[in-house]
Structure 1
Amino acid sequence: MNLNQVTIPSLNVDKAINFYQKLGLELVVDALPNYARFVCPDGNSTFSIHKVEKLPKGEGVYVYFECEDLDNKVKELKQKGIHFDEMPSDKSWLWREARLKDVDGNQLILFFGGKNRINPPWRIKK
């Protein structure tokens, strides 16, 4: 099995498209006003947005996008006007992360996990 796509809710898909294009995702399906799908710049994963009348309550979904050069990517995005809630910092789980929210308040984490993304020291041994 391979994860193909994550879909998040949005009150305004058109506005969300602009935000995600600024992040560097490539728009591949434009079915405004209800749906849009992007391909990630690295790998084969896709990411989509669908229109909702109301956003879910609570913390919602956390979406992680891995960036090889996290600090420079954050610097580049800040220059494009993207606001970060948390600048890149090293985490106890051995990832470096920066946190932000999209135009609908969905939690995004740009991170670099390197070998620890799949193989942390505490990985279950088979």
Structure 2
Amino acid sequence: MDLNQVTIDVAYFKASVDFYLTLGFRLIVSARGEYARFELPSGTSTFSLHLSDAPRVGGTVLYFEVADVDATHADLKARGIRFDSPPTSESWLWREARFTDPTGHRLCLYHAGDNRRHPPWRLDP
């Protein structure tokens, strides 16, 4: 099983599409101003937006891994993306910077490398 597609509800469709384009996502499907699907800058997963009158924004955080958090943070900040926290080295061995999209979905720009799947405290199979 492979997680390859995530769809989130959004309240502000055009602002959300523009936001994810600014992140470097590539728009591959756009339907009736209410649905958009993107390819991400790397990997094979796709990500989509669905216009909703009552978007569900909750405890989920979407993580987008990049090779260099500091450089990507600086680039996105120069493009107008506002971050809630600067790049920080966390105790779980990830470097990350947090931000939100126009609807309020929480996002994390991060780099974990091998520690994402194989941290020193990983449980044996």
> TM-score band, normalised by the shorter chain?
over 0.9
Shift of 1:47: 0.5
| Mapping 1:16-95, distance limit 5 Å | 16-56=16-56, 59-95=58-94
**Counterpart Cα distance in 1 of 2:32 and 2:83:** 27
Q: Percent identity?
A: 46
- Residue 9 of structure 1 aligns with which residue? 9
The one-letter amino acid of 1:36's match is A
Residue pair 1:13, 1:32 contacting (<8 A) in 2 also: no
Aligned-residue offset at 1:55: 2.5
Rounded Cα–Cα distance in structure 1 between residues aligned with 2:11 and 2:93: 35
Structure 1 runs (4+) deviating above 2 angstroms are none
Using the size of structure 1 for normalisation, the TM-score is: 0.95
Look up the match of 1:96: 95
TM-score w.r.t. length of structure 2? 0.95
Structure 2: any 5+ residue segments left out of the alignment? none
The runs of 5 or more residues in structure 1 that have no matched partner are none
Deviation at 1:115, TM superposition (A): 0.8
Alpha-carbon offset, residue 14 of structure 1: 1.7
What residue identity is the alignment partner of 1:68? A
RMSD over aligned CA atoms reads: 1.0
- Number of residue pairs matched? 125
